[in-house]
Amino acid sequence: MKEKKKNKTMAKIYKYRGFYLMFLPVFVFAIIFFYAPMLGIRYAFTNYNGIREPAFTRLENFQRMFSMQNFWSAFWNTIQISIIKLLLTTAFAVIVSILLNEIANLLFKKVVQTIIYLPHFMSWVVTASIFSLILSPSSSGLVNTLLVNMGVLDSNNMIYFLGNSKWWRPAYYIINLWKETGWQTVIFMATLAGINTDLYEAAAIDGAGRWGKMWYITFPQLRNTILTVIILNLAKVMNLFESAFVLQNDAVLNVSNVLETYIYYQSFNSGAIPNYGYTTAVGLFKSLVGCVLVLVCNQWSKKVREGRGIV
């Protein structure tokens, strides 16, 4: 019996050998770049500076981590920035998707979609450079110049939005909305395209106007998609680096330093001999929190898909 099953399995593998051959490079890539580096987890329990042999320290790195005020500041910054960014981007993506869906002219609709998608393909380095100029506290800064011309600000007291702890986060959220909202509309536009038009016709017969159709048909149809997008993206809240790194500076580290930038500074810009064991411990903790979020989000997403979701 076992021999028969083995022969059947081998026959299937031979039959679909082309697909396995195409999958092989992806498999090798995953092993080399995703699974092999996991062996470095062992350094989280050592004192290792990259030169001397790692010395086993048990849980000292974790004890040090939990006692560091800077670590907890970066941890809470990560949670707050990521969740607020997720909620804002999702809300704006839903609003933009609904507005796009209401455009009757197909050519104009495609042009608008293309324009709002484009920022997503721009690197964060270029984005940071553009907005550093726009928000610059000088005569070349568009926002400050407009505020001065409107009489809101004095020319001698311009706001350095990216260098002020009070204004950095609002500026960061606005930049993220500009860059990512268009791309996030893709999934919502797909959902809107699948709504049965008979529902709108029936609503029109019942006397519903445009806002009534949106409130009683469009929003309910989007609800599960919105919940699914939020839940699945919650698993990524710990992976925040590039956008924060290119926009932050020493003046705003108290509100902009997140776990991944904290790891970077501790590893390469601490001013002392780095302890890669400590930064590995921080990275391991971040991964464990992310793993827990993935598991929780997976359970929530199942409930949403089964119609027993969160209201």
Q: How far apart are CA 265 and CA 130, in angstroms?
A: 25
Collect all residues with Cβ–Cβ distance below 8 Å to 222 and sequence separation of at least 6.
Answer: 94, 97, 98, 188, 191, 192
Taken in order 122, 127, 83, 294, the sign of the CA dihedral is positive
Closest CA to 117 of 181, 173, 54: 181
- Residue 154: what pLDDT? 81
Q: Find the domain containing 66 and state its range.
A: 62-122+164-305
The overall pTM is greater than 0.95: no
Tell me, yes or no, whether 82 lies in a domain.
yes
Tell me, yes or no, whether 49 lies in a domain.
no
- Residue 310: what pLDDT? 45
Q: How far apart are CA 181 and CA 115, in angstroms?
A: 11
- Residue 307: what pLDDT? 60
The pair of three-digit structure tokens given for residue 5, joined into one six-digit string: 């099953």
Task: Classify the phi-psi angles of 307: left when phi > 0, otherwise alpha if psi is within -120 to 50, otherwise beta.
Answer: left
Tell me, yes or no, whether 86 lies in a domain.
yes
Per-residue pLDDT of the chain (311 residues; tens, 9 = 90+): 666 676 777 888 888 888 889 999 999 999 999 889 888 888 999 998 878 888 888 899 999 999 999 999 999 999 999 999 999 999 999 989 888 888 878 888 888 888 888 999 999 999 999 999 999 888 788 888 888 888 888 878 888 899 989 999 999 999 999 999 888 888 888 888 888 777 777 878 877 777 777 787 888 888 888 888 887 788 788 888 999 999 998 889 999 999 999 999 988 877 677 888 999 999 999 989 988 888 887 787 777 666 644 44
Tell me, yes or no, whether 282 lies in a domain.
yes
Number of domains, the chain:
1
Tell me, yes or no, whether 261 lies in a domain.
yes
Closest CA to 167 of 248, 260, 80, 90: 248
Return the CATH number at 77. Answer: 1.10.3720.10
Which backbone phi and psi does 134 adopt, to 5 degrees?
-65, -40
Strand partners, 46: 56
Collect all residues with Cβ–Cβ distance below 8 Å to 287 and sequence separation of at least 6.
Answer: 238
The pair of three-digit structure tokens given for residue 198, joined into one six-digit string: 């008979």
Q: How far apart are CA 281 and CA 58, in angstroms?
A: 11
Question: Are the beta carbons of 162 and 188 closer than 8 angstroms?
Answer: no
Rg of the chain, C-alpha, whole Å: 25
Tell me, yes or no, whether 156 lies in a domain.
no
Tell me, yes or no, whether 32 lies in a domain.
no
Neighbours of 172 (CB within 10 A): 23
CA–CA distance from 79 to each of 83, 208, 254, 299 (Å)? 6, 41, 14, 20
CA angle 22, 26, 29 (to 5 degrees): 145
Q: How far apart are CA 113 and CA 100, in angstroms?
A: 8
E strand or H helix that includes residue 47: strand 46-47
Q: How far apart are CA 81 and CA 176, in angstroms?
A: 11
Tell me, yes or no, whether 26 lies in a domain.
no
